Amino acid sequence: MLPDKKNIIFIFLIITVFGTVFLWWIFKNQPLPLTERIPGMDGRPAMKARSDTVNIGEFFDTLSAMDALLPGDWPRFRGVDFDNINKDTTPLSEKWDTAGPAIIWQATLGEGYAGPAVHNGRVYLLDYNERKKADALRCFSLSSGKELWRRWYYVDLKRNHGYSRTIPAVTDKYVVTMGPRSHVMCVDPVSGKLLWSLDLEKEFGIPGTEKGRITPDFYTGQCPLIDNDVAVLAPGGKALMIGVDCASGKIIWQTPNTDSLRMSHNSIMPMTIQGKRMYVYNAVGGVSGVSAEKSDLGKLLWLTTDWSPATTAASPVFLGNNEIAVFGSYGAGGARIIISEDVSGFKATVKEQHKATNGLASDQQTPVIIKDCIWAVMPENAGALKKQLVCYKKSDLLTEVWSSGKENRFGRGLGPYIVSGDKLYLLDDDGNLYFYKIQDNKATLISSHKILKGIEAWGPMAIAGKYLIMRDARNLLCLNIGK
Amino acid sequence: MKADKNKYQSRRDFVKTAGKLIIVAPLVIIPVFLAKKTSVKGYVWQIDPLKCTQCGQCKTNCVLTPSASKCVHAYRMCGYCDLCGGYLRQGVKTISTGAENQMCPTGAIKRKFVEEPYFEYTIDEKLCDGCAKCVKGCGDFGNGSLYMQIRHDICVNCNDCSIARTCPSNAISRIPASIAYIPKDKR
């Protein structure tokens, strides 16, 4: 049956109406035009080698004579045993009164997060003087806070979340510092006499390449290490790690950087794994172990690129059983790496890795191990545990055994903490100092006090004798926490 | 005497008039005040950036598509970082403007080199869909200079804002239209 005229008109009308609606629907909400998002759209210029010449350690100012020589030792990042635990037996106060611990002295600093080192009654801090535009190794008397001397050099920096970040390494004979732009300086710890210097950017950088860039984003955060009178540094670029003889300033060994790892904000941690002493370093691009034994000093023992967060600041810690824990910043979380050994040599295997929401993490400070527990303040992006003091078992980095609770969060979770015996001192970003007592896998808040009025109290603290030395972005303070 | 009487009467009249005014004034002022306060025109919905938890519901719960809730930038708080937690995805291997490195799914954040080591970040609000991923990244790892605000040139100012109804942190409330925005860098 042929359709009659009415039906044809009806069908035509329906098609017209639906067609019009369809076209209207298609053209009404036109999506915004797609544009390519490709590298190079930000106008970043090609990378150039820095052209300025820095005369490292050029100037010296004698400021005061040494006064009382107090006991107490915190000679480098994480203290004598690299564990951030004070072993000094000086009795410390069990409780603070409402006034809090007494402030013994204080000093004004350039903006930054560099922490102090203490040795033989002197406090060393690598500061940045914004007015002079100079790195300055400042030596203070521990007893009075008087500045004894200052060894400094011009280096032009632009503020990039502060300037200074590193802690000097001190022995009886040497102080080694690393400045924000990777300028290394070795001086006499008493007289301040310049012994040698090294520009890591100039010596180990590969100009014009991202992989050959030495100083990381936000300036250098690696704290130098002195091991048997050898300064151990991890520049990246042409060498993964180097050893510099502190007496002569000569580079006596260097580890080839075959995987183009880059300097991170981590520091080198000496550890004994599988019975072998080694320097463990979590670089940008991978984690490595370099021999610290005389027979094969500087030899790369193992390297894994299976754990390589874009940014990492908390240094590796030894968990026992030939395992280490490593941490990444910016939500990267943490990982457990097992180091095994067979006839072919050492091998690193990432046994487990987790995001900050799923397990132990630290954006900035290195966690502390006490017996079989590991303590840290969780970062801001750690879900329900964010900014809380937490305790995990070394054997399980995924399940917390204790946390300070949602009513006890600490700033942005970036402040430092330090342990002495059963006491844990925690400084939040805003300068509030908390005093916890640790018992097994639990901590009890004993006292707290607002100590600093500044911001970004991120510099690691030091304990020497009965003194706790701490800082915020611009102030250095020495507190009496003794009995 | 006459003058005294007038004076007495005048005072009495004054007290009477004042009394009437005291009684009448609130009857006039209070309704006017309340009327002004309850006027829909006088109030707009806005996000308190200090309460916002960047849950992402602004993107999906607004009656408009894309949402009237947009990311805005407090330049005075920005660190102008090369490694920007608001611009770059977590764990990027290279810092560049490649789409694979960007946090923003729609490419609404533009980045421009200023001078070593600083980069300026601007928001293209036409592209912003209010997902708040950049705000979370900036708050977690940076200075928190990116934050969410409801744009009143887009918002239809519903009587019962559907984002406010579902906001888990109660960060959205009515504020006087004369204020309109809650800038994070001017508090």
Query: How would you write the pLDDT of chain A (483 residues) with one tens digit per residue?
Result: 556 888 888 899 999 999 999 988 888 777 777 788 999 999 998 877 777 789 999 999 999 999 989 999 999 999 999 999 999 999 999 999 999 999 999 999 999 999 999 999 999 999 999 999 999 999 999 999 999 999 999 999 999 999 999 999 999 999 999 999 999 999 999 999 999 999 999 999 998 888 889 999 999 999 999 999 999 999 999 999 999 999 999 999 999 999 999 999 999 999 999 999 999 999 999 999 999 999 999 999 999 999 999 899 999 999 999 999 999 998 899 999 999 999 999 999 999 999 999 999 999 999 999 999 999 999 998 999 999 999 999 999 999 999 999 999 999 999 999 999 999 999 999 999 999 999 999 999 999 999 998 899 999 999 999 999 999 999 999 999 998
**A121 is a domain residue:** yes
Residue A142, Ramachandran bin (φ over 0: left; ψ between -120 and 50: alpha; else beta): alpha
Task: Give the residue from chain B lying closest to A363, CA to CA.
Answer: B141
Which chain B residues are within 8 Å of A308, Cβ to Cβ? 93
Tokens of B29: 């002022």
**A10 is a domain residue:** no
Residue B32's pLDDT is what? 83
Closest to A314 measured CA to CA, from A365, A380, A260: A365
Check if A358 contacts B (Cβ < 8 Å): no
Task: Give the residue from chain A lying closest to B80, CA to CA.
Answer: A160
Q: How many CB atoms lie within 10 A of CB A39?
A: 14
Task: Give the residue from chain B lying closest to A50, CA to CA.
Answer: B116
Residue A208's pLDDT is what? 84
**pLDDT > 70? residue B83:** yes
Check if A161 contacts B (Cβ < 8 Å): yes
Q: Where in chain B are the domains?
A: 2-38, 41-186
**A27 is a domain residue:** no
Which B residues, 23 through 82, put their C-beta within 8 Å of a C-beta on chain A? 79, 81-82
Which chain A residues are within 8 Å of B91, Cβ to Cβ? 309-310, 328, 330-332
Which chain A residues are within 8 Å of B95, Cβ to Cβ? 217
Q: How far apart are CA A180 and CA A163, in angstroms?
A: 6
Beta bridge pairs of residue A313: none
Distance from B168 to chain A by nearest Cα, in Å?
A: 15
Give the residue with greater pLDDT, A393 vs B16.
A393
pLDDT band at B8 (very low <50, low <70, confident <90, very high): low
Overall domain count for chain A: 1
0.90 surpassed by complex ipTM? no
Distances (CA, A) of A394 to A366, A480, B38, B77: 14, 32, 59, 39
Task: Give the residue from chain A lying closest to B128, CA to CA.
Answer: A32
Residue B1's pLDDT is what? 47
Is A247 in a helix, a strand, or coil? Answer: coil
Residue B39's pLDDT is what? 58
Closest to B139 measured CA to CA, from A357, A331, A366: A331
Cis peptide preceding B26, ω within 30 of 0: no
Which structural domain, as residue segments, surrounds residue A99? Answer: 54-480
